[in-house]
């Protein structure tokens, strides 16, 4: 028995060393080079590694066959109802409550200037997906010099809208609740505005968030 145990320990150690070597090699060949990449490239690379490059239409048709008797229209409405229900328990914002008076004078560092707006718009990626306003990124970038800053303290209703795209987390998905997550495509102008605000927030909470977290990218 002792001989069998010793042999088992030897084989176990060999397996552990081989596993560690394979993990290291996988990291070096698949992950290490991605450290300087953006979230878009990370997600694209992860989908390739996980084999998620499936046809979205056929993928959703398969889910419709399982959940709504093949009715894709009913599937879309069912997913929409589920996405909405996730936040149903949250109290609605009280529009009568104001955090600050919009007539109050703001500190200069919290005023979005024309120059700041121009610089951010000029850096927008031309292939960025559009939101419900259907204004392509290249228009905002090319005409950045004619756009004004936002100073009235009100976010346009159009900037709050989004095209919600259901994205499968597994292939193929079999459950709306467990295997589908929503991706919201908001107007690029809203993303630009958010990126400026997030820069201010970042300066305030610097050092309190995970450096590996992707956010505020346009």
Residue 166: other Cβ atoms inside 10 A: 21
Q: pLDDT under 70 in the chain at which residues?
A: 1-3, 52-58, 95-107, 109-110, 112, 114, 126, 139, 141-154, 209-218
Give the pLDDT confidence score for residue 146 in this predicted structure. Answer: 47
* Domain range summary for the chain, segments of one domain joined by +: 55-85+104-205
Element containing residue 167 per DSSP (H, E): strand 163-168
Angle between helices 114-122 and 188-205 (to 10 degrees): 110
What is the rounded distance in angstroms from the CA atom of residue 76 to the CA atom of residue 109? 44
Give the pLDDT confidence score for residue 15 in this predicted structure. Answer: 93
Answer for the pair 126, 141: CB distance below 8 angstroms, yes or no.
yes
Give the pLDDT confidence score for residue 20 in this predicted structure. Answer: 92
pTM beyond 0.85: no
Q: Does the bond joining 63 to the residue before it have cis omega, within 30 degrees of 0?
A: no
What is the rounded distance in angstroms from the CA atom of residue 73 to the CA atom of residue 63? 12
């Amino acid at each position: 028995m002792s001989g069998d145990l010793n042999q088992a320990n030897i084989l176990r150690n060999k397996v552990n060393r081989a596993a560690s070597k394979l993990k290291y090699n996988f990291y070096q060949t698949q992950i290490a080079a991605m450290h300087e990449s953006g979230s878009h490239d990370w997600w694209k690379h992860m989908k390739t590694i996980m084999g998620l490059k499936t046809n979205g239409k056929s993928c959703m048709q398969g889910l419709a066959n399982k959940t709504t008797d093949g009715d894709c229209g009913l599937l879309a409405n069912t997913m929409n109802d589920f996405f909405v229900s996730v936040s149903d328990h949250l109290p609605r914002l009280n529009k009568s409550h104001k955090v600050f008076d919009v007539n109050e004078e703001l500190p200069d560092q919290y005023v979005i200037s024309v120059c700041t707006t121009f610089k951010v718009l000029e850096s927008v990626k031309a292939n960025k997906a559009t939101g419900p306003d259907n204004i392509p990124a290249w228009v905002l970038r090319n005409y950045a010099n004619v756009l004004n800053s936002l100073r009235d303290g009100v976010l346009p209703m159009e900037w709050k809208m989004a095209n919600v795209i259901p994205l499968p987390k597994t292939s193929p998905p079999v459950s709306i609740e467990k295997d589908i997550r929503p991706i919201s495509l908001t107007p690029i102008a809203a993303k630009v505005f958010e990126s400026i605000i997030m820069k201010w927030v970042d300066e305030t909470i610097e050092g309190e968030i995970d450096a590996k977290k992707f956010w505020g990218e346009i």
